[in-house]
Amino acid sequence: MIFSDMKPKDLKHPFLWEERRPLIEGRVFYVPDYYQEHHLFTFPIFEDPQIFGNTLPVHLEYCSGNGTWIVEKALSHPDTNWIAVERDFERVRKIVSKAHNENLSNLFVISGEAFTFTKHYVRDHSVERIYVNFPDPWPKEKHLDRRLLQSGFFRLLSTRLDEGGELWLTTDHEEYFGFAMQEARATGLYELIEGPPPPDTLDTKYGQRWQAEGIRINHVVFRMKSRDANPHPRRLEVVEVAHARLDGDLGTVTGFEKQVHEIENGHVVLLDCARSLDRERLRLEVIVDEADLRQEILIEVRETPSGIYVELSSFGRPAVTRGVRRAVVLVADWLAGCGLRKIETVG
Share of the chain above pLDDT 90, in %: 70
User: Is the pLDDT score of 91 beyond 90?
Assistant: yes
Q: Name the average pLDDT for the chain.
A: 90
In terms of pTM, does the model score above 0.75?
no
Tens of pLDDT, residue by residue over 12-58, are 999 998 899 999 999 999 999 888 788 778 899 999 999 999 999 99
Closest CA to 128 of 80, 169, 75: 80
pLDDT recorded at residue 4? 62
Active site residue 289: no
User: Is the pLDDT score of 70 beyond 60?
Assistant: yes
User: Is the pLDDT score of 190 beyond 80?
Assistant: yes
Share of the chain above pLDDT 70, in %: 95
Closest CA to 156 of 110, 199, 123: 123
pLDDT recorded at residue 3? 47
User: Is the pLDDT score of 236 beyond 60?
Assistant: no
User: Is the pLDDT score of 272 beyond 60?
Assistant: yes
Task: Check 48, 136, 247, 272 and give the catalytic one.
Answer: 136
Architecture of domain 8-224: 3-Layer(aba) Sandwich (3.40)
Lowest mean pLDDT among 116-125, 182-191, 230-239: 230-239
CA distance 211 to 172: 9
User: HEC string of 22-48?
Assistant: CEEECCEEECCCCCCCHHHCCCCCCCC
CA distance 246 to 308: 5
User: Is the pLDDT score of 292 beyond 90?
Assistant: no
Are 67 and 91 within 8 A, CB to CB? yes
pLDDT recorded at residue 317? 76
Amino acid type, 302:
R
The pair phi, psi for residue 324, each rounded to 5°, is -65, -45
CA distances from 282 to 101, 217, 277, 303 (A): 48, 42, 10, 9
What does the domain layout of the chain look like in residue ranges? Answer: 8-224, 243-346
Residue 192's DSSP bridge partners are 222
